Structure 1
């Protein structure tokens, strides 16, 4: 007889469940702003690095470089960002936030902080720091499996 695997002890299963919870909290807190988690990450990154190119944006947020264009399309259609051709390379498109994009990010950030607090609320302050540290260690150690470089190589 085969031994049954306990899903509740499987890190991949638990990571997916934590992601479900994080997305649900995001939806609750930011629903009226009409932003997805990837759009939020993109907008935050563009606001922090105005003029970032699309490939670097995708890599920075750990998103697929072939589909980041659609995310930017939706942000641009809402007037949150603008794209311009790079003067150095006409194949490269640079993304810059608009005033409306910065205002939306300013409105979204406190809600994102509430999401973080709500997600981590069941943990002690010490456990919260350790949880984040362990997640970063896993992401960094497995960076070659994702679209984002480890913080050590960045």
Structure 2
């Protein structure tokens, strides 16, 4: 979207019922409500299930890798992992090559909790897609994938706001040390 198109959108009257951020949040609330209605909240929450699924996909991920995989902010994820470790769902050990990083793995209890939650997670996905016309479902998933990708990329708010984009050259200079000129 060009800066002019963004400006035109900004000039229009704000309507909560047409706000993408609000509509995404409402959609997330619906997903959580469906998951809870399926009786899963007593065992693990939908967000905890997402973390368990991310760990199951690649055992030994660091907490930083899990932040990237799940989109959950660092401090919230750290608190979640600590609670899940206390419940015996995951274990954390020092990562190979970096004792400061923690490698997260599922326990047997964690794998059982994920196995129990997986049908509910799949039902949530099915219910959300079912609420859309069949011919819109693929496009919906593509758009969500693009939005999630934007979160993973180097999102530039200044560009969205129509301000001049900073050059990558300036950014890379900030990452260099004064002595060697090599990136840290």
User: Where do 1:53-92 residues align within 5 Å?
Assistant: 53-92=62-101
In the alignment, what sits opposite 2:30?
Answer: 21
Q: Aligned to 1:130, what secondary structure does the other structure show?
A: helix
1:85/1:60 CA distance change after superposition, 3 Å: same
Q: Aligned to 2:100, what secondary structure does the other structure show?
A: coil
1:129/1:74 CA distance change after superposition, 3 Å: same
Of structures 1 and 2, the larger Rg is shown by 2
1:119/1:75 CA distance change after superposition, 3 Å: same
In the alignment, what sits opposite 1:136?
Answer: 145
In the alignment, what sits opposite 2:164?
Answer: none
In the alignment, what sits opposite 1:152?
Answer: none
Q: Aligned to 1:109, what secondary structure does the other structure show?
A: helix
In the alignment, what sits opposite 2:115?
Answer: 106
1:60/1:88 CA distance change after superposition, 3 Å: same
1:138/1:93 CA distance change after superposition, 3 Å: closer
TM-score (norm 2): 0.70
Instruction: Give the CA RMSD over aligned residues.
Output: 2.0
Q: Deviation at 1:19?
A: 1.6
Q: Provide Cα deviations, 1:51-75, integer angstroms capped at 9, x if missing partner.
A: 1111111111112123322111111
Contact 2:46 2:121 in 1 (8 A): no
Q: Aligned to 2:132, what secondary structure does the other structure show?
A: coil
Q: Which region of structure 1 is more displaced relative to structure 2, 45-54 or 3-12?
A: 3-12
TM-score (norm 1): 0.82
CA distance in structure 1 between the aligned counterparts of 2:75 and 2:14, rounded to whole angstroms: 36
1:87/1:15 CA distance change after superposition, 3 Å: closer
In the alignment, what sits opposite 2:18?
Answer: 9
CA distance in structure 2 between the aligned counterparts of 1:103 and 1:24, rounded to whole angstroms: 22
In the alignment, what sits opposite 1:52?
Answer: 61
2:65 maps to 1:32: no
Structure 1 residues without counterparts, runs of 5 or longer: 146-154
Contact 1:59 1:65 in 2 (8 A): no
Q: Deviation at 1:95?
A: 0.7
